Amino acid sequence: MAGNHTLVFTEQNFDQEVLKSDRPVLVDFWAEWCAPCRMMAPAVDAAAEQFAGRAKIGKLDVDQNQSLAGRYNIRSIPTLLLFKDGQVREQLVGATSKDTLVKLLEKHL
């Protein structure tokens, strides 16, 4: 369910790929059963392609990575967190458009 440039984040790679990244990272907290998450997938994939090489964009399945969802207080999905320098800089809750994702990412490049 991910595009060519959309990464998959897990508890095993989260620290290295997200917290230690030298680029902004947008993490889409989602689940397979979540209809709004599935609706948003094309926008996330399109943003990942557009920002390839400048930012990391990926998905984190909350059912498979419950401790990370808990660590970041994810109460509803989809929730998108933008990390920069290992810190959460922005949060979007609920389905959103590619344009909104693009504006969010451009602010942090």
Task: Indicate which residue of 7, 18, 27, 37 is catalytic.
Answer: 37
For the chain, helix (H) and strand (E) counts, in that order, are: 4, 5
Closest alpha carbon to 59 in 85, 31, 83: 31
In whole angstroms, give the CA distance from residue 85 to residue 70.
Answer: 21
Choosing from 27, 34, 74, 105, the catalytic residue is 34
Active site residue 8: no
Active site residue 64: no
Q: Which residues are catalytic?
A: 34, 37
